[in-house]
Amino acid sequence: MTTTTTSVGAPTAPSGTEAWDEERAARKDTREGWLFCAPYLVLFVVFVIFPAVWGLWISLHRYDFTLPNKPFIGLENYTSLIDGSSPWASVFWESLRNTLLFSVLSVPLLLVLPLAIAMVLNQKFAGRNLFRAVYFAPYVLGVAVIAVLWRYLLDTNVGLLNYYLGRNIPWLTDVPEAWVSIVGVTVWWTLGFNCAIYLAALQGVPRSLYEAAAMDGANRWQEFRNVTLPGIRSVLVFIVSTTIISSMNMFGQSYLMTAGGPGNETRTAIMQISDTGLRQFDSGMGSAMSMIFMFFLLIISGSVFWLTNRDSDEKPKKKSKARATA
């Protein structure tokens, strides 16, 4: 009697029933696996998968849920936005441009400043965890508190900032001042988040690498360029992508601090999409806008991914080739 199946799972079972037992165990695993996932999957299907597909469908209709008729219009929502014939077109593209402008202004600051602070906090000194906790504190407060507070501090007439500057700068009612305010407040609010992630990454860079660099006579910049940056590379990719995504999704700061003003100068894409879809009840148009927005976001994250991966792939490839020929 020879058995070809080798099972570790049921060593005491008679050999003839082994295959059958294994199959039964696999079926039991499958049943239990899906059963454990079931409660989450109900939520996931109803509030993520279904709406993602339905949103695409809605965007192909003139969809006002307060009206009984919701005619199918194909790509008209999209084409009227693109060729400018929709009354929403100009304000939508302006909001998208504003969102990009905000991202271009805030992302570099949110990448560099937290890294600088994290590198300072990465040195050994008394109370550094306390400093980390303080810099992180605004982040736990949420945009509503932050925006209401800073609207007060940035008030043209009674605000703290203008008092100490001795000026009457219209921080929230004129551009470019409003952008300076929104970007500044966002940096103040979310800097601690990136800083905490950088710090955790920096602590993972082996000390021996710094010692080796010091022995080779590397200066500060060379050490940063050749030890620190490669050491935190994977985390850097994470921070770059999450910072871009959250900047593109900016909403509350504009909504509460400037109400999108002056005019529509600080109105963001999310503000326009939710306003069109939920306040003006043009759900079809709102959905079409959100799809276009997602398209832009995909292009941006895709190019970030491509840029960072192209960089990291080249070097190991060369190395492995060298090894293969050796």
**Interactions with another protein, residue window 9-48 (CB under 8 A):** 26, 29-34, 36-37, 39-41, 43-44, 46-48
Note the residue count of the chain: 326
Site string for another protein, 71-110 (x = CB under 8 A): ----------------------------------------
Residues 149 to 168 in contact with another protein, rule: CB under 8 A: 149-153, 155, 157-158, 160, 163
Q: What is the DSSP string of 169-213?
A: --TTTSTTHHHHHHHHHHHHHHHHHHHHHHHHHHHTS-HHHHHHH
Our finding on whether 137 is near another protein (CB under 8 A) is: yes
Is 187 an interacting residue with respect to another protein (CB under 8 A)?
no
Instruction: Identify the residue whose tokens are 């965890």.
Output: 129
Q: Are 278 and 63 in contact (CB under 8 A)?
A: no
CA angle at 224 for the pair 222 and 225, rounded to the nearest 5°: 65
The residue among 260 and 286 lying less far from another protein, judged by its C-beta, is 286
Burial of residue 88, with CB atoms counted within 10 A of its CB: 0-12 exposed, 13-18 middle, 19 or more buried: buried
Q: Which of residues 282-301 bind another protein (CB under 8 A)?
A: 283, 286-287, 290-291, 293-294, 297, 301
Give Cα separations from 147 to 11, 153, 184, 242 (angstroms): 65, 10, 11, 21
CB of 324 to another protein, least distance (A): 30
Is 258 exposed, middle or buried, given 0-12, 13-18 or 19+ CB atoms closer than 10 A?
buried
Continuous segment of H or E residues that includes residue 48? none
Q: CB nearer to another protein: give 252 or 260.
A: 252
Instruction: Please select the residue that binds another protein; options are 175, 180, 209, 256, rule is CB under 8 A.
Output: 256
Q: How far is the CB of 58 from another protein (least distance, A)?
A: 6
How many residues in the shown chain lie near another protein by CB under 8 A? 94
> What is the smallest separation between the CB atom of 285 and another protein, expressed in angstroms?
10
| H or E element that contains 315 | helix 283-325
Binding to another protein in span 214-243, by CB under 8 A? 234-235, 237-239, 242
Residue closer to another protein by CB (options 247, 318) is 247
**267 touches another protein (CB under 8 A):** no
**Nearest partner of 179 among 253, 112, 110, 243, judged by Cα:** 253
Distance of closest approach, residue 229 Cβ to another protein, in angstroms: 16
